[in-house]
């Protein structure tokens, strides 16, 4: 692993020197024997894209800790949703574990021109643009054709259009925009630090988020900046969990404005005799929001199993709360200031769920669940402890019991809160219907605020828990905005109790 920009600079300079010595210059000496008129040919790099990729761009990416087969794919397939054709990305960098897109690199042949304007058709007139201004204006025109068209080299107009298409399709297909986009021919380098700003929406991109290095010397003189912008470990930190001790290693500690508690949840079916029982482990974590956008995950690394016996639940909640409190103390010691922790309601009120969903699935059985300023997605108590529909026999007496209620923990349906869980359990059929309703294009607007996958169930916990009482769920204030009036909850047991 390359740990610092000095080692990166050494690796890049070696790759360039080897390319110039063995690939760029050596063939010309050979051609002097095969082409007697070679001296009349301008001395420019006529090699192919494959040469510069193999001898310069591949080593450059490896020196930035992008490793083929581990966190970057060469010639990655991409489905173009606009034409329904399959295209190829030169390089697609991804998060090592969750395979989220992090980096797109578009490679160009060695003699590809650096960004420039076309020649003016009016004699004596010269266009005056800074290179970043030219890029920003050209991208603005691609976003909004009503904007003035800039006199950009046609080949660059085509390249920017292609890269924008790659980014939009990556976002459409994965739900995520890459963290960085690069265009390079191994001698010059352009980095888009904020691809969403550069390629999405209709606003003019911020020039401050576009970094240009117009020559090998420029890259060599800026190895620290290039390493900070493109090092895999720095980019992936926004996706992978880190320990409190790592915060100050990767970030300026004063840059974090707010945080929110979370749990990493993993679900598995564990064999028990002739049947299986559900096992849910939770790891307390805290998300911190960077002032420039983006969230980092700080983890305790301490798993705690959700208990199978209802009487053990209070102790589990207390244990998780203690771990979260310790983690918060470690975080504040690392950043050297108090970090306000948002409630779930405040998170959604600020529309931060667009950046950081309430529940994010990392696969079929792995989830990241926000808990706001609480420590767990399960609340200790609710105002409806004596609700009639905690008890199956009372729900059945009213003709409201669903047919699939398990008596205790269950793998099908997935729940830790069968009918024996009483005040943490719900036995009402209407609630099950509301939880399981599929949210799609036809009804999405009737169930705001939503942040889950299209065509997913309304209940945010449905992937691993189906019978927890909604009043005991930390998301109830948010979900209640959409379905609160339809809920059958009542404060007492009523007749026949």
DSSP for 31-49 reads HHHH-TTGGGS-------H
**Which element (helix H / strand E) includes 102?**
strand 101-107
Ordered by start, the domain boundaries in the chain are 5-236, 241-486
Residue bearing tokens 């998780």: 320
Cα separation, 337 vs 7, in Å, equals: 33
Write down the pLDDT at residue 64: 96
Cα separation, 389 vs 469, in Å, equals: 9
Per the DSSP assignment, residues forming a β-bridge with 284 are 263
Residues in Cβ contact with 191 at an 8 Å cutoff, skipping those fewer than 6 apart: 180, 181, 182, 210, 211, 212, 213, 226, 229, 230
Cα separation, 376 vs 262, in Å, equals: 7
Write down the pLDDT at residue 271: 84
Cα separation, 420 vs 431, in Å, equals: 18
In contact, 199 and 104? CB cutoff 8 Å: no
pLDDT band at residue 128, thresholds of 50, 70 and 90? Answer: low
Residue 450 burial (CB count, 10 A): 20
Strand 241-242, strand 456-457: pairing: unpaired
Cα separation, 155 vs 256, in Å, equals: 41
pLDDT in tens, 283-317: 999 999 877 556 889 999 999 999 999 999 999 99
pLDDT at 140 over 60: yes
Percent of the chain with pLDDT over 70: 89
Residues in Cβ contact with 395 at an 8 Å cutoff, skipping those fewer than 6 apart: 388, 389, 401, 427, 428, 429
Helical residues (DSSP H) of 144-262, grouped into ranges: 154-174, 195-199, 216-221, 223-230, 232-236, 247-250
Residue bearing tokens 């800790």: 65
Residue 24 burial (CB count, 10 A): 21
Residue 92 burial (CB count, 10 A): 23
pLDDT band at residue 122, thresholds of 50, 70 and 90? Answer: very low
- How many CA within 13 A on the CB side of residue 87? 20
How many residues comprise the chain? 497
Write down the pLDDT at residue 121: 45
Cα separation, 396 vs 387, in Å, equals: 14
Phi, psi of 90 (to 5 degrees): -55, -45
Cα separation, 473 vs 461, in Å, equals: 9
In contact, 468 and 414? CB cutoff 8 Å: no
Which one has a higher pLDDT value, 470 or 353?
470
Per the DSSP assignment, residues forming a β-bridge with 411 are 414
In contact, 311 and 420? CB cutoff 8 Å: no
State both tokens at 397. Answer: 């007496």
- Axis crossing angle, helix 131-143 with helix 154-174, rounded to the nearest 10: 60
pLDDT in tens, 326-368: 999 999 999 999 999 999 999 999 988 877 889 987 666 889 9
pLDDT in tens, 68-86: 988 999 999 998 888 888 9
State both tokens at 40. Answer: 């009349």
DSSP state of 117: B
State both tokens at 467. Answer: 């019978």
Write down the pLDDT at residue 427: 94
pTM: 0.61
Write down the pLDDT at residue 123: 45
State both tokens at 194. Answer: 């904020």
Write down the pLDDT at residue 141: 95
pLDDT band at residue 274, thresholds of 50, 70 and 90? Answer: confident
Write down the pLDDT at residue 99: 67
Residue bearing tokens 């890259």: 219
On the 0-12 / 13-18 / 19+ scale of CB atoms within 10 A, 119 is exposed
Q: Which value, in Å, is the radius of gyration of the alpha carbons in the chain? A: 28
């Amino acid at each position: 692993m390359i740990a610092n920009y000095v080692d990166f600079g050494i690796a890049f300079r070696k790759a360039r020197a080897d390319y110039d010595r063995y690939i760029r210059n050596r063939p010309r000496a050979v051609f002097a024997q095969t082409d007697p008129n070679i001296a009349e040919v301008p001395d420019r790099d006529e090699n192919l894209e494959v040469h510069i990729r193999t001898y310069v761009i591949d080593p450059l990416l490896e020196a930035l800790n992008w490793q083929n087969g581990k966190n970057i794919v060469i010639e990655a397939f991409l489905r173009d949703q606009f034409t329904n054709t399959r295209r190829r990305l030169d390089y697609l960098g991804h998060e090592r574990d969750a395979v989220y897109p992090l980096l797109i690199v578009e490679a160009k042949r060695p003699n590809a021109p650096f960004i420039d304007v076309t020649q003016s058709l009016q004699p004596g007139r010269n266009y005056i643009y800074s290179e970043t201004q030219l890029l920003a204006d050209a991208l603005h025109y691609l976003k909004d054709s009503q904007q003035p068209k800039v006199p950009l080299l046609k080949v660059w107009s085509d390249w920017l259009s292609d890269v924008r298409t790659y980014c939009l399709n990556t976002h459409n297909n994965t739900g995520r925009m890459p963290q960085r986009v690069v265009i390079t021919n191994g001698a010059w380098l352009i980095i888009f630090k904020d691809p969403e700003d550069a390629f999405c929406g209709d606003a003019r991109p911020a020039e401050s988020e576009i970094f240009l290095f117009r020559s090998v010397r420029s890259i060599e003189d800026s190895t620290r900046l290039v390493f900070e912008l493109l090092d895999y470990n720095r980019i992936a930190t926004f996706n992978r969990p880190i320990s409190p001790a790592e915060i100050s290693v990767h970030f300026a500690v004063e840059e974090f404005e707010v945080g929110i508690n979370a749990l990493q949840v993993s679900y598995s079916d564990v064999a028990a005799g002739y049947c299986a029982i559900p096992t849910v482990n939770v790891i307390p974590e805290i998300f911190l929001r960077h002032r420039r956008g983006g969230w980092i995950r700080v983890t305790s690394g301490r798993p705690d199993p959700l208990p199978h016996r209802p009487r053990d639940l209070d102790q589990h909640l207390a244990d998780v709360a203690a771990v979260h409190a310790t983690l918060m103390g470690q975080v504040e010691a690392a950043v050297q200031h108090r970090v306000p922790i948002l409630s779930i309601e405040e998170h959604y009120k600020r529309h931060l769920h667009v950046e950081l969903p309430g529940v994010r699935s990392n696969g079929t059985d792995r989830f990241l669940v926000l808990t706001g300023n609480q420590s767990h997605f399960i609340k200790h108590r609710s105002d409806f402890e004596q609700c009639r529909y905690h008890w199956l026999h009372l729900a059945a007496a009213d003709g409201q019991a669903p047919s699939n209620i398990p008596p205790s923990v269950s793998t099908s349906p997935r729940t830790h809160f069968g009918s024996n869980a009483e005040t943490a359990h719900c036995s009402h059929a209407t609630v099950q219907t509301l939880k399981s309703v599929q949210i799609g294009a036809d009804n999405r607007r009737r169930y705001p605020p939503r942040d889950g996958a299209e065509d997913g169930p309304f209940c945010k916990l449905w992937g691993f828990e189906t019978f927890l009482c909604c009043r005991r769920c930390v998301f109830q204030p948010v979900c209640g905005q959409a379905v609160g009036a339809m809920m059958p909850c009542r404060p007492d047991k009523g007749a026949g109790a």
